[in-house]
Structure formats: C-alpha cells, structure tokens
Amino acid sequence: MGSRLPVLKLSLMITTLLTVTVLSAGQDAGVSAAKKLYARTGYEVTISGTITLTGKRPKPLRIDTSADPVCYDVNQHPRTESVVGNEGRLANVFVYVRSEVLDTYTFEQPTSPAVLEHKGCRYVPHVLGVRVGQPLQILNSDPTIHNTHPTPKNNADWNQSQPPGAPPMTISFKLPEVVIPFKENQHPWEKAYVGVFDHPFFAISDELGNYRIEGLPPGKYVVIAWHERFGEKRVEIIFVPGEARDISFNFDAGSDSREWK
C-alpha cells in the first residue's frame, strides 16, 4: 500500500498541472478573442453604387385614412411607399456588409440618437438604420394619438402608444437584426423598416438610387442589398487596401417578396 502513495501523489500533481494549463489556455483564448476597437489605418475601402429597377414599375396606391379624420387633415393624399425612386432608380434599399473581418472589431458608437417620426400619419423615414445600443427616439409630430409596434425576431417585442404632444420615446436594441418591421396598430397603413447593426457599414439608397459606404477595413465581404418588396441581392468581393469600388444592384419589378409587402 505504501508503495502506491508516491504514484498517486505524482498522478495528482500531473492532473493538477494539466488542469491549470487548460484553464490558462482557455483564458488566453478568451483574451485573444476579445474584440478590439477599430483604429483607422488610412487604407480603408469605399464602396458606392446605384440601385436600379427594370420592368414595369408598380404605381403608388392611394391610402384610405378616413378611419382617423385628423390623418386626413394633415395628409390628404397619402400614397404607398414600397416602391420609390426616379428615372428607373430605386430608393429605400438597405445596402450593408457581412464579414469575419468585422467580427474581430468593435466600432465607435454614434454620438447622437437616430430618429423615427410619426409625421403626416406616416413613419418618417420609411427605412432607417441604427447601431446596436444606439438610442432611437420616436416622435409624435401629429395632433392625433400614434402607436409604435416593432416586430423583431431577435430583439424584444414591444408596443406603446403616444398621445399628441407627448415627449419622445427612447429605445435601443441589444442585438443585430436586419430588418425589423415597424407597424402602427391604430393606423395600419403606417409601416417602417429598421435595420440594427453592430458596425457602421450600411447605407440606404436615395431617390436617385445612390448609396455610399466609407471607412471599411479591407478584406473579404458579402455586400447585400435588401428591399422590402423585391427581396435581396448579394455579391461576394475581396477588397484590397485603399480601394474604391462601384457595386451597383438591379432589381426586377416582376419579383415580389411577399414576406415584406
């Protein structure tokens, strides 16, 4: 029995050393995996482009606001906003990027809140991008009560009404999510779409279909264009340091993503 004690002690010592080594390795991996704040190098990438729409463009439809006479007074000719743009161009397209490059960094937060407004019994803007944790102020600029009801999949669902003259509601989202539909239970024609990102590399096309994203670290990316009605386009690209590249997308008016109608 006595001859076994040194062997047992040696075995315990080896087990203890292995345990400490494994724990230390895990701690080091955790430290190395921690995201660092991105510092600009001067070799960042710029992407820009134009979003076009081919085929027969759907015409905006007249919205019946007679359920709330105040809405008729403040906006007598409201039209649907699912297809907006001039001269074959398409507005309100979310363009954003995905990459393992971005997953290793954090990025400075905006210094001001994003704003979503009930104005003319519509959501203004119709499409909006915010950062994770960035305050989103929701305003009621109409002389009638409004309701704000985002319907996320990853973040918490909530629903709140806002009487005329009420102070802004301020919320934020904890998780990235593209995109969150916003509805209005009292005025069902009011719709908006909010994208939530953990990086600043996103843009929304204007009425001429133009967008621009600056300051992107070089590397391999998926560039994605999303529209509420016509769905999604994407392309994989490797950007070299300091590159400026045109990446344009074309949607077909014959395609229709029913999920977002």
Query: Across residues 16-33, what is the average pLDDT?
Result: 38
> What's residue 34's pLDDT?
79
Count Cβ atoms within 10 A of the Cβ of residue 102 and give its class: 0-12 exposed, 13-18 middle, 19 or more buried.
Answer: buried
Q: Rounded mean pLDDT of the chain?
A: 87
User: In this predicted model, what pLDDT tens digit does every residue of 48-85 receive, in sequence order?
Assistant: 999 999 999 888 999 999 889 999 999 988 999 999 99
> What's residue 187's pLDDT?
95
**Beta strands at 36-37 and 105-106: parallel, antiparallel or unpaired:** parallel
Kind and range of the H or E element at 31?
helix 4-33
> What's residue 257's pLDDT?
59
Q: Is the dihedral of CA 156, 161, 164, 166 positive or negative?
A: negative
Q: Which residues pair with 192 in a beta bridge?
A: 182
Comparing C-alpha atoms, which of 53, 89, 96 is closest to residue 224?
96
Q: Which token pair is 261?
A: 């109608």
> What's residue 197's pLDDT?
97
* Amino acid at residue number 208: L
> What's residue 70's pLDDT?
96
User: In this predicted model, what pLDDT tens digit does every residue of 122-167 receive, in sequence order?
Assistant: 999 999 999 999 999 999 999 999 999 999 999 999 999 999 999 9
35 pLDDT tier (thresholds 50, 70, 90): confident
> What's residue 87's pLDDT?
82
> What's residue 255's pLDDT?
77
Give one word for 57, left, alpha or beta, with left for phi > 0 and alpha for psi -120 to 50.
beta
